Protein backbone atom coordinates (compact mmCIF):
# COMPACT_ATOMS: atom_id res chain seq x y z
CA UNK A 1 0.00 0.00 0.00
CA UNK A 2 1.58 3.25 -1.15
CA UNK A 3 -0.20 5.70 1.13
CA UNK A 4 -0.86 3.73 4.30
CA UNK A 5 -0.50 6.72 6.63
CA UNK A 6 -2.98 8.85 4.68
CA UNK A 7 -5.34 5.90 4.26
CA UNK A 8 -5.29 5.27 8.01
CA UNK A 9 -6.10 8.92 8.60
CA UNK A 10 -8.95 8.83 6.07
CA UNK A 11 -10.39 5.69 7.64
CA UNK A 12 -10.23 7.22 11.11
CA UNK A 13 -12.12 10.28 9.83
CA UNK A 14 -14.96 8.14 8.51
CA UNK A 15 -15.04 5.18 10.86
CA UNK A 16 -18.41 4.53 12.44
CA UNK A 17 -20.18 7.17 10.35
CA UNK A 18 -23.26 6.05 8.45
CA UNK A 19 -23.08 6.10 4.66
CA UNK A 20 -19.33 6.52 4.74
CA UNK A 21 -18.35 3.74 2.36
CA UNK A 22 -18.69 5.72 -0.89
CA UNK A 23 -16.78 8.80 0.35
CA UNK A 24 -14.17 6.49 1.86
CA UNK A 25 -13.66 4.70 -1.43
CA UNK A 26 -13.49 8.05 -3.23
CA UNK A 27 -10.77 9.28 -0.88
CA UNK A 28 -8.81 6.05 -1.19
CA UNK A 29 -9.04 6.19 -4.97
CA UNK A 30 -7.78 9.76 -4.88
CA UNK A 31 -4.77 8.63 -2.86
CA UNK A 32 -3.96 5.41 -4.71
CA UNK A 33 -5.17 6.28 -8.22
CA UNK A 34 -7.48 3.25 -8.12
CA UNK A 35 -8.77 0.71 -5.60
CA UNK A 36 -6.15 -2.00 -5.19
CA UNK A 37 -7.29 -5.39 -3.81
CA UNK A 38 -4.93 -5.24 -0.84
CA UNK A 39 -6.22 -1.79 0.13
CA UNK A 40 -9.84 -2.97 -0.01
CA UNK A 41 -8.95 -5.95 2.16
CA UNK A 42 -7.24 -3.59 4.60
CA UNK A 43 -10.27 -1.29 4.58
CA UNK A 44 -12.52 -4.23 5.36
CA UNK A 45 -10.33 -5.30 8.31
CA UNK A 46 -10.13 -1.80 9.75
CA UNK A 47 -13.80 -0.85 9.34
CA UNK A 48 -15.36 -4.32 9.80
CA UNK A 49 -17.34 -3.70 6.63
CA UNK A 50 -17.64 -7.00 4.78
CA UNK A 51 -15.31 -7.25 1.79
CA UNK A 52 -18.19 -8.46 -0.39
CA UNK A 53 -20.11 -5.27 0.41
CA UNK A 54 -17.09 -3.11 -0.39
CA UNK A 55 -16.70 -4.89 -3.75
CA UNK A 56 -20.43 -4.56 -4.35
CA UNK A 57 -20.17 -0.77 -4.09
CA UNK A 58 -16.82 -0.52 -5.88
CA UNK A 59 -18.09 -2.45 -8.88
CA UNK A 60 -21.53 -0.83 -8.99
CA UNK A 61 -20.37 2.77 -9.51
CA UNK A 62 -18.51 3.53 -12.69
CA UNK A 63 -16.44 6.24 -10.95
CA UNK A 64 -14.48 3.54 -9.12
CA UNK A 65 -11.52 1.84 -10.73
CA UNK A 66 -10.27 -1.59 -9.70
CA UNK A 67 -7.26 -1.44 -11.98
CA UNK A 68 -4.69 1.31 -12.49
CA UNK A 69 -5.37 3.59 -15.43
CA UNK A 70 -3.88 2.32 -18.69
CA UNK A 71 -0.84 3.83 -20.42
CA UNK A 72 -3.05 5.15 -23.24
CA UNK A 73 -6.41 6.76 -22.59
CA UNK A 74 -9.04 6.30 -25.27
CA UNK A 75 -11.97 8.70 -25.12
CA UNK A 76 -14.89 7.57 -27.19
CA UNK A 77 -17.43 10.26 -27.91
CA UNK A 78 -21.03 9.34 -27.23
CA UNK A 79 -22.39 12.85 -27.86
CA UNK A 80 -25.41 13.38 -30.09
CA UNK A 81 -23.54 14.03 -33.35
CA UNK A 82 -21.31 11.02 -32.82
CA UNK A 83 -24.21 8.89 -31.66
CA UNK A 84 -26.12 9.46 -34.89
CA UNK A 85 -22.95 8.80 -36.90
CA UNK A 86 -22.39 5.35 -35.43
CA UNK A 87 -20.54 5.87 -32.14
CA UNK A 88 -22.00 2.65 -30.81
CA UNK A 89 -20.31 0.59 -33.51
CA UNK A 90 -17.07 2.44 -32.84
CA UNK A 91 -17.30 1.60 -29.15
CA UNK A 92 -17.95 -2.05 -29.98
CA UNK A 93 -15.01 -2.16 -32.40
CA UNK A 94 -12.68 -0.70 -29.74
CA UNK A 95 -13.80 -3.22 -27.15
CA UNK A 96 -13.46 -6.06 -29.61
CA UNK A 97 -9.97 -5.00 -30.69
CA UNK A 98 -8.84 -4.62 -27.07
CA UNK A 99 -10.67 -7.77 -25.91
CA UNK A 100 -12.43 -5.82 -23.18
CA UNK A 101 -15.42 -7.28 -21.37
CA UNK A 102 -18.57 -5.21 -21.05
CA UNK A 103 -17.80 -4.04 -17.52
CA UNK A 104 -14.05 -3.59 -18.01
CA UNK A 105 -12.42 -0.32 -18.95
CA UNK A 106 -8.74 -1.24 -18.80
CA UNK A 107 -6.88 -3.95 -20.69
CA UNK A 108 -5.11 -6.65 -18.68
CA UNK A 109 -1.73 -5.56 -20.02
CA UNK A 110 -2.35 -2.05 -18.66
CA UNK A 111 -1.90 -0.50 -22.10
CA UNK A 112 -5.36 1.03 -22.63
CA UNK A 113 -8.18 2.53 -20.61
CA UNK A 114 -11.40 3.30 -22.46
CA UNK A 115 -13.73 6.08 -21.36
CA UNK A 116 -16.98 7.35 -22.81
CA UNK A 117 -17.34 11.10 -23.02
CA UNK A 118 -20.23 13.41 -23.89
CA UNK A 119 -18.64 15.56 -26.61
CA UNK A 120 -15.07 16.13 -27.69
CA UNK A 121 -15.88 19.45 -29.32
CA UNK A 122 -15.24 18.41 -32.91
CA UNK A 123 -18.69 17.19 -33.93
CA UNK A 124 -18.08 17.85 -37.64
CA UNK A 125 -15.60 14.95 -37.53
CA UNK A 126 -18.07 12.53 -35.96
CA UNK A 127 -17.80 9.79 -34.98
CA UNK A 128 -14.72 10.72 -32.98
CA UNK A 129 -12.33 9.19 -30.50
CA UNK A 130 -9.21 10.55 -28.86
CA UNK A 131 -6.22 8.42 -28.02
CA UNK A 132 -4.21 10.42 -25.49
CA UNK A 133 -4.00 13.86 -27.15
CA UNK A 134 -4.64 12.67 -30.70
CA UNK A 135 -8.07 13.10 -32.25
CA UNK A 136 -9.28 10.54 -34.76
CA UNK A 137 -12.42 11.49 -36.65
CA UNK A 138 -14.74 10.19 -39.39
CA UNK A 139 -14.15 6.79 -37.87
CA UNK A 140 -15.29 3.44 -39.10
CA UNK A 141 -14.85 0.18 -37.17
CA UNK A 142 -12.07 -0.75 -39.63
CA UNK A 143 -10.20 2.52 -39.03
CA UNK A 144 -10.43 2.02 -35.28
CA UNK A 145 -8.66 -1.32 -35.55
CA UNK A 146 -5.99 0.24 -37.74
CA UNK A 147 -5.37 3.17 -35.36
CA UNK A 148 -5.23 1.02 -32.25
CA UNK A 149 -2.68 -1.32 -33.82
CA UNK A 150 -0.30 1.64 -34.00
CA UNK A 151 -0.42 2.14 -30.24
CA UNK A 152 0.26 -1.48 -29.38
S1 LIG B 1 -20.76 14.81 -30.31
FE2 LIG B 1 -18.91 13.80 -30.66
S3 LIG B 1 -17.48 15.39 -30.88
FE4 LIG B 1 -19.33 16.39 -30.40
Give the architecture-level CATH label for domain 72-151.
Answer: 3-Layer(aba) Sandwich (3.40)
pLDDT tens, residue by residue, 33-70: 899 999 999 999 999 999 999 999 998 887 898 888 89
Q: Is the CB of 82 within 6 Å of ligand 1?
A: yes
pLDDT value of residue 103: 76
**Residue 152 reports pLDDT greater than 90:** no
Higher per-residue pLDDT: 103 or 28: 28
pLDDT value of residue 15: 82
Q: Is the CB of 79 within 6 Å of ligand 1?
A: yes
- CA 124 – ligand 1 centroid, Å: 8
Pocket test for ligand 1, best of 89, 117, 128 (most atoms within 8 A of CB): 128
Q: Please spell the DSSP secondary structure of 14-45, one letter per residue.
A: HTT-TT-HHHHHHHHHHHHSS--HHHHHHHHH
CA distances from 151 to 4, 31, 144 (A): 35, 28, 11
pLDDT tens, residue by residue, 91-114: 999 999 999 987 788 999 999 999
In whole angstroms, give the CA distance from residue 32 to residue 82: 34
**Residue 138 reports pLDDT greater than 80:** yes
Q: Would you place residue 76 in the very low, low, confident or very high pLDDT band (cuts 50, 70, 90)?
A: very high
pLDDT value of residue 17: 84
Which atom of ligand 1 is closest in space to residue 119's alpha carbon? 4
Q: How many helices (H) and strands (E) does the chain have?
A: 7, 4
Share of the chain above pLDDT 70, in %: 100
Amino acid sequence: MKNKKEIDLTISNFIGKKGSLIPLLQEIQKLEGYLPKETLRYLSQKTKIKLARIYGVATFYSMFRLKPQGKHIIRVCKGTACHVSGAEDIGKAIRKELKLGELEDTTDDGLFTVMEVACLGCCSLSPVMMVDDNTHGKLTPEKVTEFLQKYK
